Amino acid sequence: MKVLIIGSGGREHALAWKLAQSNKVEKIYVAPGNGGTAGEEKTENLPLGGADPATAEGQAALVEFARKETIALTVVGPEAPLAAGIADRFRAAELAVAGPGEKAARLETSKAYAKSFMEKYGVRAAKSRNFTDFAQALAYTEQQTLPVVIKADGLASGKGVVIAASAAEAKQALSAFMKDGVLGAAGKSVVIEEYLAGLEVSVLAAVSVTSGGKPVIKPFISARDHKRRFEGGQGPNTGGMGAIAPVPDFTAALQKDFASAILAPTLKGMEAEKMDYRGFIFFGLMLQNRRCYLLEYNARLGDPETQAVLPLLDSDCAELCQAVADGNLADFPLKWKKGAVCAPVAAASGYPGTFRSGDPIAINKAGLEKTGAKLFVSGAQRGRGGSSGSGLHTSGGRVLTVSARGEHAEDARGKAYSALRFVNFDGMVFRTDIGTEVPAADKAEAAG
Ligand code: AMP
Ligand code: GLY
Encode pLDDT of 213-250 as tens digits: 899 999 999 999 999 999 998 999 899 999 999 999 99
Tens digits of residue pLDDT in 378-394: 999 998 544 456 899 99
Ligand 2 atom index nearest CA of 305: 1
Q: Is 125 in the pocket of ligand 1 (CB under 6 A)?
A: no
Residues with CB under 6 A from ligand 2: 225, 240, 298, 302-303, 305
Rounded distance, CA 19 to CA 26, Å?
10
Which protein residue's CA is at the shortest distance from atom 11 of ligand 1?
447
Cβ–Cβ < 8 Å for 209, 327: yes
For residue 155, the ligand closest to its alpha carbon is 1
Q: Among 297, 294, 301, which residue's Cα sits nearest to residue 324?
A: 301
Report pLDDT digits (tens) over 334-347: 999 999 999 999 99
CB 214 within 8 A of CB 271: no
Q: Distance from the CA of 78 to the center of ligand 2, in angstroms?
A: 10
Count of C-beta atoms within a 10 Å radius of residue 353: 9
Averaged pLDDT for residues 411-437: 96
Contacts of 48 (CB under 8 A, 6+ apart): 31, 32, 58, 61, 62
Q: Model pTM?
A: 0.95
- What pLDDT does 153 receive? 95
Residue 389, pLDDT score: 67
Interval between CA 238 and ligand 2 midpoint (Å): 10
Residues forming a β-bridge with 74: 4, 97
227, 282, 401, best to mutate for ligand 2 pocket (most atoms within 8 Å of CB): 282
Distance 197 CA to ligand 2 centre (A): 19
Residue nearest to atom 4 of ligand 1 (CA): 296
DSSP bridge pairs for 405: 341
